[in-house]
Structure 1
Amino acid sequence: MWQDILETFEGALPFIKTFGLIALKIVILLVVGYYLSRFVAKKITIALESKDKMLANFLAQVAFIGINIAIIIAALGTAGVQTHSIIAVLGTAGVAIALGLKDSLSSVASGIILIILRPFVHGDMIEVGSLMGKVEAINLFNTTIRLPDGKLAILPNRNVSQANVINHTDLSQRRIDIVFGVGYESSIDMVKLIAINVLEHNACVDLKRGYFVGVQDMGASSLDFLLRFWVEIDCGIVEVRSHILESLKVNLEANGIEIPFNKLDVNVLKAQDAPLRVQNTLENIVYVDTKGVESK
């Protein structure tokens, strides 16, 4: 019995050696290929990260997946599988796979388009539909955006490429519009001087780009002014706007300028006095044109 087992083992020994050698080659090939793909991806990231972090991340993923696919095909070839047949089968099945994964493949193509056209880069504050946040990465299948509250939004690349994207950090500056109201008895010139003084004392306001201060509307209970100016994004849009509003309130109150609330004044006249009072009012109207010339 033992003699039969020994003879069987000796007969199978060449096959075991051959199979073991092939298995060892496949294992070595897969392990080396995996670490090679990681090494290449890391080198691509290091080489391009300082210039373009998103491009580096995208190309690193492409290189990692591409090398691993090539290694797997090579390992199958080492195992005796006809790689030409595999490629032919993959080509035949590619149509069915493409139909089944059309959304995923569309996201891959959209990611390539986003990398080429570059509507935004890493760190840009963008608005996509109802979402707004900082771009963290463009991956093979999705784009990740960090929302202001810290949440991470993961959007398919095809959705991003087809949406209306608003880039809030394309320029290093942003224009801010502030509307504030004062009482009708307030001096327009004084209000303008106060607003200009507030702007000129804020280091984040770019005075070289100019600003605008003027009456925007005559509201129901206030004279509404528009304050329009440019600020550096690095200073913080919310912070600068808040500081300007606080400074406006303090300076307006310090100069005796009323900041009114919504109100409605109702004057009750006697029937016999109304025609006379209205007539007297119309006779005393004074018109002041833009040149400051008064006429009755």
Structure 2
Amino acid sequence: MKYRSLIASLALFPLLPLTAQDDPTPEKQGEVAVAVVSPGGEIKPEILDLKLVPLTVDELAEEAKQWQQAIKEGAEKVAEAAIRNAEAEAGTDAKQTALDDLAKARDEEKALLTNFEVILDAWEAKGGDAAELRLYASTLNATKVDIKDTSALMDSFNRWIKSEDGALKWLGRIGACILILIVAWFISGFVERLVNKAMTQHKGTSELLDRFIEKIIRRTILAIGALVAISTLGVQIGPVLALLGGGAFIIGFALQDSLSNFANGVMLLIYQPFDVGDAVEVGGISGSVDSVSLVNTTIRTWDNKVVLVPNKNVWGQTITNINAAGERRVDMVFGIGYDDDIDKAQAILEKIVSETEGVLEEPATTIKMHELADSSVNFVCRPWAKSADYWAVHWSITKRVKQEFDAAGISIPYPQTDIHLHKVE
């Protein structure tokens, strides 16, 4: 019996530590949780953010409660200092001391609130609900200054001017923003000139494509510079870009016509059906091409009107490039009377064409009697000229034909009708 009791005691001995662990001591039951990061405004927000990374959502909830308590105590200090300031008489040492204490208490409270926002962000990121605590913090964020208390008002303004987080901070940010925009402007202009020089030396691209590439590069640099400049003002660019990305479908649907013009503009720039200065006919509009953007094509009509044609109406229709080949045939028809000498008329036409400046020797000119019309015998006259000389050649030959035919006694008939009257007896 004695040995049996000893054996039983030895068997239960290993279980004693486990039993002790399962039964917490009164000291552990009454232990109060302590914040991992001691509440205070002296710690930098970025350092605090790193320290919060390993914490669980429950630990972050406890952390937020501890910091809220510290903020509450800071708010009480601000309230006490504000009361002393309100009770102090203006112009006295007590008033200045109260103002100093109030400014110090507000600075400490502001630093605490800044770090408190970091904790709440980390808590929400891991699934916590910080709405109530954010509401509490927002009620303390606004600095309340009695506008009737001129000394307090001036003191707050002077402190804001001298504060590193006040006027000095914003002046620095605004200065940096303006400087970045200026630098981006000069860099974009410099790069645009370099690209222009490179494109000028490379003859394989059209002037339209050259202009497009130059504009895109310049605007891209300016856009990047603008984003960097805005970020110096404290604006978070990431959420803005994420919002634009998330709303891409809605934006695309709302701007479908503009996107269609954009796509067609890219096709025009890639396939280059015309270039700057080309004479074209597109969608019933005739004129010379001034420019092509990603939205529309600018055409200057022959009577000097500027017409903006949407790119979808350009690429989606027949495009006639009048001078793309560099040479054009000048098609003209001249009629003579049925009683005139056709050989003499042809000789005159050949002489005029051979003497006209701008007419090309190759391809050869075609001058033939073409048809016996109702009122005239028609000759076709088809010389070739450079596209730039088309109208000069056309007008010069037409004028000479009239002068030479008149001098040679060859008539140029006009439509007429002969009426024969028969007398009826």
Instruction: Indicate whether the TM-score tops 0.5.
Output: yes
Unaligned residue ranges in structure 2 (runs of 5+) = 1-94, 108-159
**Which structure is higher in RCO with an 8 Å CA cutoff and minimum separation 6?**
1
1:187 aligns with 2:341: yes
**1:132 equivalenced with 2:286 (yes/no):** yes
Residue 327 of structure 2 corresponds to residue 173 of structure 1: yes
Q: Which amino acid aligns with 2:309?
A: L
**The one of 153, 156, 177 aligned to 1:26:** 177
Rounded to whole Å, the distance in 2 between the matches of 1:119 and 1:254 is 46
Aligned counterpart in structure 1 of residue 391 of structure 2, from 202, 214, 238: 238
Report the alpha carbon displacement of residue 238 of structure 1 after superposing the two structures with TM: 2.6
| 12-21 or 185-194, which deviates more | 12-21
Report the 3-state secondary structure (helix = DSSP H, G, I; strand = E; otherwise coil) of the residue aligned with 2:247: helix
**What is the alpha-carbon distance in structure 1 between the residues aligned to residue 217 and residue 372 of structure 2?**
63
Could you say which residue in structure 2 is the equivalent of 1:264? 417
Q: Cα distance 1:32–1:208, how it changes in 2: closer, same or farther (>3 A)?
A: closer
| Segment of structure 1 superposing worse, 160-169 or 55-64 | 55-64
User: What residue in structure 2 maps to residue 279 of structure 1?
Assistant: none
Per-residue displacement from partner, 1:91-130 (whole Å, max 9, x unpaired)?
A: 1012211111222222222222111101111111111122
Preserved CA contact (<8 Å) 1:61 1:140: no
The verdict on how the C-alpha distance between 1:80 and 1:267 changes in structure 2, with shifts beyond 3 A counting, is closer
Partner of 1:35: 186
For 1:13-92, what aligned pairs fall within 5 Å after superposition? 13-16=163-166, 17-49=168-200, 51=203, 52-92=206-246
Residue matched to 1:255: 408
Distance of 1:186 and 1:71 partners within structure 2? 78
What is the distance in 2 between the residues matched to 1:14 and 1:7?
Answer: 18
Partners of 1:163 and 1:65 lie apart in 2 by 30
Aligned-residue offset at 1:35: 3.2
* Structure-2 separation of matches of 1:91 and 1:125: 41
Count of residues paired in the alignment: 270
Label 1:100 to 1:186 Cα distance change in 2 as closer, same or farther (>3 A). same
What's the Cα RMSD here?
A: 2.7
CA distance in 1, matches of 2:372, 2:294: 54
Aligned match of 2:301: 147
Q: How does 1:197-236 map to 2 (within 5 A)?
A: 197-235=351-389
Give the Å deviation of 1:199. Answer: 0.9
Q: Kindly state the Cα deviation for residue 209 of structure 1 after the two structures are TM-superposed.
A: 0.8
Cα separation, partners in 2 of 1:21 and 1:9, compared to 1, 3 Å? farther
C-alpha distance in 1, partners of 2:230/2:423? 104
Structure 1, gaps ≥5 residues long? 272-296
Distance in 2, matches of 1:82 and 1:261, equals: 79
Q: Which residue of 2 aligns with 1:105?
A: 259
Instruction: State the identity as a percent.
Output: 29
Distance 1:173 1:4 in 2: 91
Q: Which is richer in strand?
A: 1
